[in-house]
Amino acid sequence: MPRPNILVTCPPMLGLIDEFTGAFEAKGLDFTPAKVTQVLSEDELINLVPRHEGWIIGDDPATLRVVAAGAKGKLKAAVKWGVGIDNVDFDAFRNHNIVIDNTPGVFGGEVADVALAYVLGLARDTYFIDRAIRLQNQWPKPSGISIVGRKVAIVGFGDIGAQTAKRIIACGGEVIAYDPLYKPVEHVAASHAVWPDRLNEADFLIFTCPLSSKTRGIFNKDVINRLKPGVRVVNVARGPVIEEAALVEALEKGIVHSAALDVFEVEPLAPDNSLRQFDRCIFGSHNGSNSADAVRRVSLIAIDKIAQFLEIAA
């Protein structure tokens, strides 16, 4: 009897896919590594997904169309690799009797590390200095700012937000936490505020929240006038929590000093995107969780879950 075949479309997992051959074999599974840089299109997924019993999903559009096609084929179970679930129609899976889950609470430390790196990079212009030396043969010495005594607003106070707060506090910063479900975290001295109150106090504004109908476009033109002039903005959440047109306007006006963005409204970042004109901004490739250690850990969790789900579905 042929072994169930699992489609893998998650780029970080695919980057180390050869390491997981033994884990798949130990669970009695075959796997198909998709050819993908960031995400596959709905049409590509509709062609691929129905051929497989299981699917380990990245940031692909796991929509009703895709799920319905999978249900007409072989698909019996799926796991969303990682924490973010805004790209997955969970109801569609359940309505088609396809078992589905994600891997929550797995990347807090990794993403928080990147958030802190971005904060420090914006504070001291380290990325700007590096580019000036490498690309323009300059030797700049811009005066940055210290973290000690600065107020840092963190939007989203789940695992990633709390881990980010720990790092900011260790650097001497003061944290203002925004989260409608806010709960105090032991040994994390954060004060709670309701968005957008107290934004005028923040020297840094960090987004670590999930994408939802309430957080989509939470940074918009209405927020700009509430910001403290010179604030530095960091987004390690999801691109659409920031309306890029509003951020560009705030950068042009000098209200926002600079921004560090690991995620964007449209990915990859287009060559003509207006954000590229600001030399002090830092750009990432939606790679905040992608440490080899975390990829190994989460991929093994995903493989274990998909094997359990297929056993239940058998």
Which of 211, 210, 164 lies closest to 190, judged by CA? 164
Query: pLDDT tens for residues 197-232?
Result: 999 999 999 999 999 999 999 999 999 999 999 999
- Average pLDDT score, the chain: 97
Q: Which residue has the tokens 């579905």?
A: 313
pLDDT at site 220: 98
pLDDT of residue 314: 66
- Active-site residue identified among 238, 243, 244, 265: 238
Catalytic residue check, 51: no
DSSP H or E run through 77: strand 77-80
Q: Which residue among 19, 216, 267, 296 is the active-site one?
A: 267
Active-site annotation holds for 52: no
What pLDDT, on a 0 to 100 scale, did the predictor assign at position 6?
Answer: 98
pTM of the model: 0.93
Alpha helices in the chain (DSSP H): 11-15, 21-26, 42-48, 64-72, 90-95, 108-124, 126-136, 159-170, 221-224, 244-253, 292-313
Alpha helices in 171-243 (DSSP H): 221-224
Pairing, β 282-283 against β 256-261:
parallel
The pLDDT tens digits of the residues spanning 122-152 come to 999 999 999 999 999 999 999 999 999 999 9
Q: Is 286 annotated in the active site?
A: yes
> Which of 52, 167, 257, 286 is labelled catalytic?
286
* C-alpha Rg value of the chain to the nearest Å: 21
Spans of the chain below 50 pLDDT: none
Domains of the chain with bracketed CATH: 5-104+291-313 (3.40.50.720), 108-283 (3.40.50.720)
